[in-house]
Amino acid sequence: MKTGLAWGRTLRLSLAPSAIGDALAGLLIGCGGRFPDATDAALLVGSSLAVYHGNMALNDWCDREHDAATRPDRPIPSGLLDEARVFGAAWGLIVAGVLCAALAAPWAGVWMAFVAFLAVTYNQRGRGPVSGPLLLALCRAGNLATGTVYAFVHGLDPAVLPAALAVVLYGGYVFTVSRLGRLEDGEDPDLSRGRVGAFLFTGATLLVAAGLAPRGAAGATPHFPAVLLAVGGAAGLLMAAVRTEVWTPPLVGRCMGLCLRRLLLFAVIFSWNTQTTTGAWTAALLLVGYPASWSLRRWFPPS
């Protein structure tokens, strides 16, 4: 039982819904609000999950010495998981994820290999104050863009500008949240209220922009539900900024959980804004992942 929970913590299973959301929303954006092939959609979801969680495990392996000094309760330094097994599982998942994307479309596999390369680079040597968040942003935005790459390969003529807008807004949010996350681990000591508030305000602004951005032309669904979701998610971030007068690393850690759960909200909004019935049903399905992620975080903290 303890070993199973330890693997769940290392893989950050509470964030699995957002990895699923990236793949599904990206495919809908690229393919005009529909899933052209159920098997390929499943392969791209599997690719997203495998590459994402493989790199979460690799992150724990790379941080094992630092965690031994600062967070000895983590699975590897506590002795619950063998570091060699974690390393092997990490690379097994990463390779499997690239192969899944390649089975959907060879060029999608090449693209996912590049995304995986960025993630591995972050884990092994890209932890700078700007380079680290930038690499993470490129990874998540690149994962979202996989559906557009798939659409190009299959001659589906994706709408490039709306897809690029979604990628930029999502990547910008990940970059902002990653900068905030450095305050949790003490990598950045400036915990001033204004600075933390600026990160949260920026994240809220990007979320609202995602809700307001039009995407589809089918008109099967109204636009306002996406706006309501975006405003509601942004309000939570702004309330955290206003209510907290003195920030500490533990408080930032709690706020990071709040921010990370908004990753799934982006996928919900992007899916709905394709304005197709398939997009609406996908958004509704992804919303179920929100309480699921909240429940899983009790056993598998997201950061």
Q: Half-sphere exposure (CA, 13 Å, Cβ side) for 114?
A: 12
**Residue-level pLDDT at 288:** 86
Question: What is the distance between the alpha carbons of residues 56 and 19, in angstroms, rounded to a whole number?
Answer: 12
Single pTM value for the model: 0.92
Distances (CA, A) of 274 to 64, 139, 158: 42, 23, 12
**If pLDDT is split at 50, 70 and 90, which confidence band does 154 have?**
confident
Angle subtended by helix axes 16-30 and 277-296, to nearest 10:
170
Domains of the chain from N-terminus onward: 2-296 (1.10.357.140)
Average pLDDT of the residues in 94-115? 97
Question: What is the distance between the alpha carbons of residues 268 and 44, in angstroms, rounded to a whole number?
Answer: 17
Rounded-to-10 torsion of CA 208, 214, 219, 221: -10
**If pLDDT is split at 50, 70 and 90, which confidence band does 157 have?**
confident
Contacting residues for 180 by C-beta, under 8 A, at least 6 apart: 196, 199, 200, 203, 252, 255, 256, 259
% of the chain with per-residue pLDDT over 70: 96
pLDDT at residue 290 above 80? no
Q: Half-sphere exposure (CA, 13 Å, Cβ side) for 190?
A: 9
Residues 247 and 189: beta-carbon distance below 8 Å: no
**Residue-level pLDDT at 7:** 87
**If pLDDT is split at 50, 70 and 90, which confidence band does 215 have?**
low
Residues 15 and 48: beta-carbon distance below 8 Å: no
